[in-house]
Structure 1
Amino acid sequence: MTTLLHIDSSARASRPETDARGSHTRRLSERFISRWREAVPDDAVIYRDVALNPPTPVTGDWIAGAFTAPQERSAEMSAVLEESDLLVGELTWADVLVIGAPMYNFGVPSTLKAWVDNIVRVGLTFGFDRSRKGDPYWPMLEPGKHLVILTSRGDYGYGPEGRLEHMNHVDKALATALTYIGVTEITTIAVEYDEFSDTRVEDSLSDALAEIDALVESMTGGSGTASDDRRQTVQVG
């Protein structure tokens, strides 16, 4: 059985089919999960809305606890790390990570960054040994996890070789952090033109939904393929 970790991070709680300014990423992630459930009803889905329930940002006490050996932590240190332990556990159980990640000022929402900061944990998701020859860091997640980034952008041209690729700090930030701890495959599907509010955003959304359908079919054993370049898959390692 496959386990999916579904994360939403948009500050907008509504969806564009019911609200003209609703969240595209929530619609995309909901589409992915609904299509997956149709294909494989018995697979498990863990859901976390980091906009509605933001993870606690990293503090000095968090850092002190995380960099203290478990057997040497005080009760207070362990308490500070409880939420992070839970988030890491969800990530560890998951085979597929489905993250709705809208672009806010060229990066991820602050609540999603807080999630990333909580799951990149020394001794749990990455190892560190300063005496290790070569690279002193190594990923600790079990290999084979697939990250699906479902994103939306107000402008257009943020994809590979696009006019604004250099300003896209959503896809790269998530890919960098999660590759670092052991994710081995990453796919991005995007909606663009959101600020234009015309047929271009409607077409982009329609294309993205079709890309999701094809991706789910291929991941669950179907033969669907995608032709639109909004779908970008990277094999890591």
Structure 2
Amino acid sequence: MANILHIDSSPRGDRSISRALSYEFITSWKDTHSGDNVTYRDLGHHPVPHVDEPWIAAAFSSPDTHTPELQAAIKLSDTLIDELLAADRLVFGVPMYNLNIPSTLKAYIDQIVRVGKTFAVSANGYQGLVDSSKKVLVITSRGGTYPPGTPYAAYDFQESYLRAILGFIGLTDVTFIHADSLNLGDDTREKSLAGAKDAIAQAVANW
């Protein structure tokens, strides 16, 4: 039995493509892995707070010195990190906003990327502390398309950022499924969605 952490970041409901596709994966996965446990975080509808000054003070000081204010400031971060560390696999539904990720997901990332918890700094540089055997699946939705090797690839800060920050904490086994070209006409949109669904079916079988 595996623990799956499923995270959506779109503020949309039924109209969200990334939300629908991540749900399709999870539903299909549970059909073939009925014993697995799924923990769900809906960042789009229930966002986590941004990092603030009490959070920073708590993150960079010993828990033994924390006042009740600092304990409260860092409590959610501790919970989110515990969820992350308990998961064997992670599934993200991520729309592209302005060439990058939604602020809801960035706030979550800022909560879980913590020195001494998910990464360390030593004489040899940065070291991810999260188990690298964990698998990550990121399902995105994009209005345009940013193929590698084309001038448009330079605009894709979504995949490059997520690969970098997940790798920074130790998560290097990351697979992306892109539903792109969604604003480039009905035929292109439907072809892209069909391709993404095929990729999801392959991921369910082989991930």
TM-score by length of 1: 0.84
The answer to whether structure 1 residue 52 and structure 2 residue 45 are counterparts is yes
The answer to whether structure 1 residue 147 and structure 2 residue 140 are counterparts is no
Distance 2:16 2:49 in 1: 23
Alignment of 1:189-208 (within 5 A): 189-208=177-196
Instruction: Show the counterpart of 1:164.
Output: 152
Aligned counterpart for 2:197 among listed residues 209, 214, 218: 209
Alignment of 1:1-237 (within 5 A): 1-14=1-14, 22-129=15-122, 132=123, 134-135=124-125, 137-156=126-145, 158-219=146-207
Change (3 A) 1:162 1:44: farther
Per-residue deviation at 1:207? 0.6
Per-residue deviation at 1:75? 2.0
Instruction: List gaps (5 residues or longer) in structure 2.
Output: none
Aligned residues with identical type, % of pairs: 39
Per-residue deviation at 1:177? 0.9
Native 8 Å contact 2:163 2:172 kept in 1? no
Per-residue deviation at 1:143? 2.2
1:127-173 deviation per Cα after TM superposition (whole angstroms, max 9, x unaligned): 124xx2x22x21111220111110011112x1322441111111111
Distance 1:25 1:184 in 2: 22
TM-score by length of 2: 0.96
Distance 1:29 1:163 in 2: 29
Instruction: List gaps (5 residues or longer) in structure 1.
Output: 15-21, 220-237
How many aligned positions are there? Answer: 207
Per-residue deviation at 1:197? 3.8
- 3-state SS of the aligned residue for 1:116? helix
The root-mean-square deviation of aligned C-alpha atoms, in Å, is 1.2
Per-residue deviation at 1:196? 2.4
Distance 1:193 1:148 in 2: 20
Runs of 4+ deviating beyond 3 Å: none
Letter in structure 2 aligned against 1:93: A
Per-residue deviation at 1:72? 2.1
More helix by proportion, 1 or 2?
A: 2
Letter in structure 2 aligned against 1:168: D
Distance 2:66 2:77 in 1: 15
Distance 1:171 1:188 in 2: 8
